[in-house]
Structure 1
Amino acid sequence: MWAALGGAIVFEVFATMSLRASEGFRKRAWIAPVILGYLASFYLLWLTLAMGMPVGVAYGIWTACGVALVALIARGVFREPLTLMMVLGIALIVAGVLTIEMAGAAH
């Protein structure tokens, strides 16, 4: 279950970075990686849910990790800004997801 979710996160980040690299699909070579990456990501997210992970937990982790990784990778690869306020926002997202995870585990 966790491996499927991890794979979903990796493919979603890959697809999003490919989308950025495509420059609005002007670089057509990136279209296939975008489509295949998102398809693989959604399949693995579906698989995660089918294995029994609650949707709130799976989606929260998927999106939070995606946001954090995309921001960090975009900083390194595309030299996009990553301000202290953005880092704080990412930290708050991660804290929120952890809160949801702990609340779900308590039940």
Structure 2
Amino acid sequence: MAWLMLAVAIVAEVVATLALRGISGAFRVVPLLLVTGGYVASFTLIAFALRTLNVGVVYAIWAGAGTAGVTIAAALLYGERLNLPAVAGMALIVLGVVVLAASGATRH
């Protein structure tokens, strides 16, 4: 259940971060609600996941998957460019998270 909460926390954080673009130019209610609700949901779910999982692993997975998710979604939704160094960097982040998770230090 902790892994599911972490996965939903990542999705909520990605949605909230992408919605920040919607409030960057002017006040708009729907993007503001997405930002606020997304971050509140994300941090709440992380807190529940931390009851079982180690904070280092949770944060690494949340930050790494969130970074990759936002980057890919921004390329698809907003036409932001992805070049080879950006893709390589994301691959290194994912590899680092996989190594950390595979180290066996996931539960306390």
> TM-score surpassing 0.5?
yes
Structure 1 residue ranges (4+ consecutive) displaced by more than 4 angstroms after TM superposition: none
- What's the counterpart of residue 82 of structure 2? 82
Provide the alpha-carbon RMSD of the alignment. 1.7
Match of 1:55 in 2: 55
The answer (yes or no) to whether the contact 1:61–1:97 under 8 Å persists in 2 is: yes
2:70 is aligned with 1:70: yes
Local SS of the residue matching 1:80: coil
What's the TM-score once normalised by structure 1's chain length?
0.91
* Structure whose residues are more often helix by fraction: 1
Q: Give the 3-state SS of the residue equivalent to 2:50 in structure 1.
A: helix
What is the match of residue 35 of structure 2? Answer: 34
Query: What residue number does 1:12 align with?
Result: 13
Which 5+ residue runs of structure 2 have no aligned equivalent? none
Match of 2:23 in 1: 22
- Where structure 1 has 5 or more consecutive residues not aligned to the other structure, the ranges are none
Identity value in percent = 42
Distance change (3 Å), C-alpha of 1:56 and 1:13: same
Normalized against structure 2, the TM-score is what?
0.90
